[in-house]
Structure 1
Amino acid sequence: MKRSFFIGLIYSIIVYCVSAQEPSKPIYLDDSKPLEQRVEDALSRMTLEEKIAMVHAQSKFSSAGCSRLGIPEVWMSDGPHGIRPEPLWDAFKPAGWTNDSCTAFPALTCLAATFDPQLALEYGKAIGEEARYRKKDILLGPGVNIYRTPLNGRNFEYMGEDPYLASRMVVPYIQGVQQNGVAACLKHFALNNQERWRHNINVEVSDRALYEIYLPAFKAGVQEGNVWAVMGAYNLFRGQHCSHHDLLLNKILKNEWSFDGVVVSDWGGVYDTDESARNGLDIEMGTWSDGLTNGRAFAYDDYFLARPFLDKIKSGELPQQLLDDKVRRVLRLVFRTNMDRNRPWGSFATDAHAAISRRIAEQGIVLLKNETQLFPVSVGQYDRILVVGENAVKSLTVGGGSSELKAKKEISPLEGLIEKYGEKTIHYTLGYTSEPQKYDADSLRQVALALAKSADLVIYIGGLNKDHYQDCEAFDRKSFDLPYDQNDLIERLLEVNKNTGVIIISGNGVAMPWIEQVPALIQSWYLGSQAGNAMANVISGEVNPSGKLPFTIPKKLEDNGANSFGPSVYPGDSINVYYKEDILVGYRWFDTKKIEPQFPFGFGLSYTSFNYGKLTTDNKEYSKTDVIRLSCSITNTGGKDGAETLQIYSSQRHPSLPRPLKELKAFKKVSLKAGETKTVSFTIPVKDLAFFDDERHEWVVEQDRFTLSLATSSADIRSSVRIKVVE
């Protein structure tokens, strides 16, 4: 008996030991299991302290994982135009790495100006590959705050004034980024439409304007792009900070739109433990800094969602369910990014990325005026071309705040022109300076004028830059005029040489008092690594310009809606700002108020010409659940291959609430060889003709007559059809 007992005991021990050596795989580590099962399994294994660690920063650009469970940290990088140089652990200052020089992609104003969602997809995919290669889990972009005033210092990071355009361009950008297992972070949610007093300005705006103008691009990014992260804004809205805002984050984002990702605060945008715990914030970043300076050193355990949050849960002042919801969202992000074993490896600063950057830049450049056919300038056409202007040589991938980059290579406009036309043809002089302490401005001007007299052609390359009070985070522009006395310089250049073409580099519209005298004008942007090559290709005609303005340029600042009422409407009184222009933003204001702009939204010329057929529809009556189908023909009647963007605007005959004169509802960019004709089709769901009824808190399509117009800009209607919406 004893022998058999011991044999049985030994056998049981062996079986136990073998089974103990081969434990079942935890669900959270098994990527074949449904995502939500993995999230709940990981959550159930974590201590309270481990959960707290995941909802606030552990360094300037990372939040903690759970090392005991093998859950990685979450690493973030500023975008949306490139992957920033690696920072120090507890400072915004670069760490001094030698292998973090990236591809600088064009600013998002340039991407919006392409009116090409396919390019947005390629942009997102390429920048996502660079983020993945650098082991980043969240790319802090794209930005879709609406262009409300040309003085907003950060407009260059956004996608223009129209919510429909921004919606169509942001969705493929997000999808391209997230193909790489990197989360895009849609920002800044919401109403961050100025940099002046950005940390404390309170925005007062109607529900109609909120839902019709300022939210649609965010909604599209969430519901169509399935974005994995959203960043709260610095400003307040109706008295509450946007990074912990019950209406914006809980009611709209997470409830109405069913967002299942993480809400990340902007750096230094959190002010209270109870509000940030209850009102939708999931990861707190950068507290006790303004996002641009160091702030308090190594303060992470004292963040509002750190020890203070933990203490309030332990004391019962706050329920643990609030923390668990935040950690669920962080875990969901982790399983989608750095714990996805199938995500690609990425690539960094490649020739392929440079080519994508150049193509976006080329397609976004806008030809605004070309009366004497000054452009294109063929190689060999002139013996002596004088290039004037600081922006021809100034690095424009640096500065501007959080979008500053360390580009592996940045080809300046001057370098691109020399490469295209040769050193014997291209001559250069500064003309003006943004550094008056280094140069005498009058001497620079006189030298430029003397050289211009003997030049066959003058190409002026100026505009704004990314210095403070230009196109720059934390600073709005002080004036609508060009800085550094450029207007005077341009006018005097035109006096001594009428064969002068002007190129404005900016992310904003500028005053143009010389517009009647200048024979040719190009609106360029911050074009990134390949700026010079892209610009030279357009100037030479190797690339036919096809960009369209993503915002309206007014003749004078006071013509713009937000700048027409006085300081209470922009910039406010440092406490409150009132959006009295309401839904009439951009071309909606100019059209409805019958104000002629300098250049309208959607405008852009080509080196070729087009003929537009009549717009037709398959029906005249539609129910509210139908889809409207439209078509037209377009012919390239010129001698060069080119591309044109056809735009469809709608207007309602007798709306029960005031509506703009017209609203963009569809667009399509069409490439045509010289002499080629194509038929272009558009589909518009009838529900897209709705307006937001703030009393009923719902989108409403009324039984009424609507006009749908084919246009080449908001001010250039080519043909129209009329339809009726019925029950």
Structure 2
Amino acid sequence: MNAVNEQPWMDVAQPAGQRAALLLAEMTLEEKVDLMTGDLLEGVEGFSAAGIDRLGIPPLRMADAGSGMRRPAGYSATTAMPAPIALAATWQPELGAPYGRVVADECYLLRHNVLLGPNADLARVPWAGRIGESVGEDTFLAAEMSKQVPAAVQRPGVMVTYKHPLLYNQESNRGSGQNSIADERTIREVYAPPFDAVIRAGAVSLMSSFNKINGEFACESDFLQNKLLRDAFGFAGFIMSDYFANHAMVPGNGLDMELPGLPLQPTFYAEHLVWAVRTGSISEAVVNRACTRILWAMFTTGLFDTPLPETDQPIPYAEHAAVARAVEEAAITLLKNDGATLPLSTERVRSIAVIGADTDRPARLGGSSFVTIPSDLVGILRGISERVAGDVEVRTAPGTDRIVLGDGVFLGAQPISSSLQSVPGDPDVPGVRAEFFGSFDLTGDPIEVRIDPDMTFNNFAPSSFHDAIRSEPPRFMRSLRATTVLTAPGTGAYTFTLAGWGSAQLWVDGVEVARLDAPHVSGVSTSDQLVWDAGSTHELRLEFRATGARDGRQPGSVQLGWTYPEGAYSPAIVHAAQVAAGADAAVVFVRTLESENEDSGTLSLPRDQDALVAAVAAANPHTIVVLGTGAPVLTPWADRVPAILHAYFGGQEQGHAIASVLFGEVNPSGKLPYTMAQSEQQYARIGIQNPVRTEWSKDVHYVEGLHLGYRGFDRHELVPQYPFGHGLSYTRFAFDGIVVTPEHSNGFEPIRVAFQLANVGETAGAEVAQAYLEVPDGHGEPVRKLVAFRKVFLQPGETTEVELVIDPFDVTYPLARWDNGAHLWRTIGGVYTVRVGSSSRDLPLSATFEIHPIPEPTTEVGGTAYAYVAQEAVPAPAAM
């Protein structure tokens, strides 16, 4: 045993708080501040904190972890799990445990001990780039789906870091002063409960968000970090900053660790914090408190006692892939199934057309949740082909260009299909000729010349943040010229849009038709209509100049889009429809590629995928659409196809899972974790704005308050395309006989809701029984809110009694409201209605119960008595 191992803080019999205190007493000020300041370590992408060998403090080797563990390119592969939004769609909280164990085990075996993720933010804005990382729009669902993860991840030697308290619900302006403005009641009743849940479940590390909260940066917020997370929720661990999210040296407000640290960025901690303590402007007690929290978290999760392996260890990839597949199979949501189109049968279907530009790869997130090196990638084409091998003929066609990072983020119209464009002087080569310059005015020799599919140039992310199907523009590009020859697909009117940020001009046949001047925020310029004959050819030239930085996106981005006559399909779409026409069934796989730092400009599918679905559906009445998106998208073709599956971002086994559902080996049981609207205008009715359209303003007003998602649709009596909680099955279920006990309560005891659930179909399957509560009028509460759910598996003809429990003291406090003035919970007295069913809009059972608040202490509000409800305490260790 070496000298360090003999030190008293290495005694595993001592409580974590005592071990932290013993070790802190031996640390110099410089060592303490080093512990609070990030460093760069080999093989770690910017997030890390070096260890202190003298005292046996291990390094914190951190890895991003949204849908699996992300590693730098060139290192060992990891399992690409379904995205958190898919986990949420399972409505099975118990799946969080095997999901978390897979990621944690790979983290440890590949020599990391801190997972930066998952994410407990809510899906507020449907255009937001990180909805795929969230666990839905409902605070209760998010809390329940997050509870199993901390204990599963925090196996000995691994720590979980939950992101991102608080009100971080969109990407626009995230790095340039985004200011989330919400009242205290909205925070406590809607956005804070999932973080309360993961703290109660044992999370010991949190990552504070980029944005401001009511005018104060989250990393500097005493309200958030001390009063809410620590005092109210009892958080005993440490809080780190997100990447470049700290803006000041105020550790007393609760930020314990600044990342990423030197040498990547100038830091507010490091030597500056040492100097501040030496000169007395900051007390060393503040530093001691922060270090104690960090050390306590490290001792609690076994980082001192479970050393990382010296080399990467073997990963049980097959075992982990099986978990990924099981989660995706449980997540896939059957949105529509007219005429029992699904499941397919190899006895009835002898040929199948698999259509889509990305059928060879699963739909996956971009950004920090992107698994750079997956152990495998099973797209829908491979999944179906392997399932029907030898029995069914499989045909395929892309129909559109591949979906790449940046598609859908621009405000303008869709880009032009490469099948309609050819390189000038070479009509047999599809696409455009692009020249990139290091100068701002297209002078000098190009730094790169290449052929691209179209005129979409997005400078946000390196290829390590997404599937590198298309190269991003050169890093030091400051201007560009793109030229192409366009063939009109039909006779009629055409318009062009320039969209992006920067300065751009478009010439058609030598005449300037559009000019964009948007130096810092997104803009759009639209041409006049041009009337062309089918088959006519036209020369297009785009020139772009970067004119200013925009929220970390350097040096600018631009897209040429267009609108064209209805039914004037590209050759690629025409070919896809022809391939589909001769098949017994057609499956169209459509997707998005969403990412952090990029909100979407539209909820429509990118790259004419809507037109592709319409064309294939017209050619083949047996068309099934499979959605591979993280966020809700519009489905304008929904009434033209008989069946729709939502597969979300399903991880590396997505293709196998989809095939299992399509052919009935798995009966779908997923439920929507968010509302899918009929139009973008429905969100405007609620008060939710497209952040790309409003990014000129840094202030984000949460005007909808408590009425997020389906609650807003209910409040404004809007009919969604598909409601929150919706999901069909290959069998049928019936609800009956609801009983609620007790019928009268003081609000401090559980409310039990019992009913019968029967499988009245001919196939074994699962239904998610959902309970929604309608609170007495007069308190600004939602029309109804989710308060309990359970997924129940039943054989054909089987009936079971289900009991759902409404816990008054769960993190959402369903029988109380937050009093902004008094800063406490108050029980709401009166008659409640509980409704039970299969979605937020399909609730056949209802019953009532009444709450009579205890008489003391009380206050009068509108003539009604309300009792104080004590916040459930989560005790911190004595050493804290």
Structure 2 counterpart of 1:702: 828
Q: Does 1:411 align with 2:378?
A: yes
Quote how far apart the aligned CAs of 1:244 are. 2.3
CA contact (8 A) 1:374 1:519 kept: yes
Change (3 A) 1:476 1:567: closer
Change (3 A) 1:387 1:568: closer
CA contact (8 A) 1:113 1:364 kept: yes
Structure 2 counterpart of 1:58: 39
Quote how far apart the aligned CAs of 1:23 are. 11
Deviation per CA, 1:665-686: give whole Å up to 9, x if none: 0000000111111111112123
Quote how far apart the aligned CAs of 1:553 are. 0.5
CA contact (8 A) 2:70 2:368 kept: no
In 2, the alpha carbon distance for the partners of 1:180 and 1:608 equals 43
Alignment partner for residue 77 of structure 1, among 63, 73, 95? Answer: 63
Quote how far apart the aligned CAs of 1:66 are. 1.6
Alignment partner for residue 286 of structure 1, among 260, 263, 267? Answer: 260
Quote how far apart the aligned CAs of 1:179 are. 2.9
Q: Does 1:388 align with 2:355?
A: yes
Structure 1 counterpart of 2:788: 666
In 2, the alpha carbon distance for the partners of 1:562 and 1:114 equals 29
CA contact (8 A) 2:190 2:706 kept: yes
In 1, the alpha carbon distance for the partners of 2:187 and 2:299 equals 33
In 1, the alpha carbon distance for the partners of 2:686 and 2:835 equals 29
Quote how far apart the aligned CAs of 1:618 are. 2.9
Alignment of 1:648-687 (within 5 A): 648-655=771-778, 657-687=779-809
CA contact (8 A) 2:4 2:55 kept: no
Aligned residues: 678
CA contact (8 A) 1:72 1:338 kept: no
Quote how far apart the aligned CAs of 1:403 are. 3.0
Change (3 A) 1:567 1:131: closer
Instruction: Give the residue type in structure 1 aligned to 2:280.
Output: G
In 2, the alpha carbon distance for the partners of 1:24 and 1:490 equals 64
Deviation per CA, 1:590-627: give whole Å up to 9, x if none: 11111111100000000001111121123210112211
In 1, the alpha carbon distance for the partners of 2:104 and 2:303 equals 17
In 1, the alpha carbon distance for the partners of 2:308 and 2:790 equals 32
In 2, the alpha carbon distance for the partners of 1:389 and 1:400 equals 23
CA contact (8 A) 2:601 2:692 kept: no
Change (3 A) 1:472 1:568: closer
* Matched position secondary structure for 1:713: coil
CA contact (8 A) 1:65 1:71 kept: yes
Alignment partner for residue 420 of structure 1, among 378, 381, 387? Answer: 387
CA contact (8 A) 2:38 2:49 kept: yes
Identity %, equivalent residues = 31
Structure 1 counterpart of 2:297: 333
Alignment of 1:189-228 (within 5 A): 189-199=165-175, 200-223=177-200, 225-228=201-204
In 2, the alpha carbon distance for the partners of 1:390 and 1:620 equals 56
Normalised by the size of structure 2, how large is the TM-score?
Answer: 0.74
CA contact (8 A) 1:570 1:577 kept: no
* Matched position secondary structure for 1:385: strand
In 2, the alpha carbon distance for the partners of 1:625 and 1:615 equals 22
Q: CA RMSD in A?
A: 2.2
Instruction: Give the residue type in structure 2 aligned to 1:663.
Output: K
Structure 1 counterpart of 2:484: none
Alignment of 1:136-147 (within 5 A): 136-147=112-123
CA contact (8 A) 1:149 1:562 kept: no
In 2, the alpha carbon distance for the partners of 1:115 and 1:549 equals 9
Change (3 A) 1:422 1:339: closer
In 2, the alpha carbon distance for the partners of 1:421 and 1:547 equals 24
Structure 2 counterpart of 1:449: 577
Quote how far apart the aligned CAs of 1:278 are. 2.1
Quote how far apart the aligned CAs of 1:255 are. 1.6
Deviation per CA, 1:505-564: give whole Å up to 9, x if none: 100111111111111111111111211111100000000000000000011112126874
Instruction: Give the residue type in structure 1 aligned to 2:366.
Output: G
Structure 1 counterpart of 2:717: 594
Instruction: Give the residue type in structure 2 aligned to 1:674.
Output: P
Q: Does 1:298 align with 2:275?
A: no
Structure 2 counterpart of 1:9: none
Structure 2 counterpart of 1:489: 612
Quote how far apart the aligned CAs of 1:25 are. 3.8
Q: Does 1:476 align with 2:599?
A: yes
In 2, the alpha carbon distance for the partners of 1:654 and 1:472 equals 40
Structure 1 counterpart of 2:641: 518
Deviation per CA, 1:444-471: give whole Å up to 9, x if none: 1121122122111110001212xxxxx1
In 1, the alpha carbon distance for the partners of 2:656 and 2:289 equals 49
* Matched position secondary structure for 1:189: coil
Quote how far apart the aligned CAs of 1:404 are. 3.5
CA contact (8 A) 2:711 2:782 kept: yes
Quote how far apart the aligned CAs of 1:566 are. 5.3
Instruction: Give the residue type in structure 1 aligned to 2:61.
Output: W
Structure 2 counterpart of 1:241: 217
Quote how far apart the aligned CAs of 1:363 are. 0.3
CA contact (8 A) 1:61 1:76 kept: yes
Deviation per CA, 1:639-660: give whole Å up to 9, x if none: 11100000011112234x2111
Alignment partner for residue 722 of structure 1, among 832, 838, 848? Answer: 848
* Matched position secondary structure for 1:675: coil
Change (3 A) 1:565 1:399: closer
In 1, the alpha carbon distance for the partners of 2:307 and 2:137 equals 35
* Matched position secondary structure for 1:52: helix
* Matched position secondary structure for 1:528: coil
Instruction: Give the residue type in structure 2 aligned to 1:505.
Output: G
Alignment of 1:19-98 (within 5 A): 25-59=6-40, 60-85=46-71, 87=72, 94=73, 96-97=74-75
Alignment partner for residue 324 of structure 2, among 354, 357, 374? Answer: 357
Deviation per CA, 1:325-351: give whole Å up to 9, x if none: 111111112213354536998973432
Deviation per CA, 1:285-331: give whole Å up to 9, x if none: 125xxxxxxxxx7256x411111111111111111111111111111
Structure 2 counterpart of 1:7: none
Quote how far apart the aligned CAs of 1:498 are. 1.3
Structure 2 counterpart of 1:433: 401
Quote how far apart the aligned CAs of 1:180 are. 4.1
* Matched position secondary structure for 1:313: helix
Quote how far apart the aligned CAs of 1:239 are. 1.4
Change (3 A) 1:640 1:536: same
CA contact (8 A) 2:139 2:193 kept: yes
Structure 2 counterpart of 1:266: 242
Q: Does 1:111 align with 2:90?
A: no
Instruction: Give the residue type in structure 1 aligned to 2:276.
Output: K
Quote how far apart the aligned CAs of 1:394 are. 3.4
Structure 2 counterpart of 1:711: 837
* Matched position secondary structure for 2:771: strand
CA contact (8 A) 1:180 1:343 kept: no
In 1, the alpha carbon distance for the partners of 2:63 and 2:351 equals 45
* Matched position secondary structure for 2:844: strand
* Matched position secondary structure for 1:431: coil
Alignment of 1:460-471 (within 5 A): 460-465=588-593, 471=594
* Matched position secondary structure for 1:252: helix
Change (3 A) 1:398 1:220: closer
* Matched position secondary structure for 1:392: coil
CA contact (8 A) 2:773 2:833 kept: yes
Change (3 A) 1:281 1:31: same
* Matched position secondary structure for 1:258: coil
In 2, the alpha carbon distance for the partners of 1:38 and 1:271 equals 32
In 1, the alpha carbon distance for the partners of 2:759 and 2:822 equals 47
In 2, the alpha carbon distance for the partners of 1:249 and 1:686 equals 25
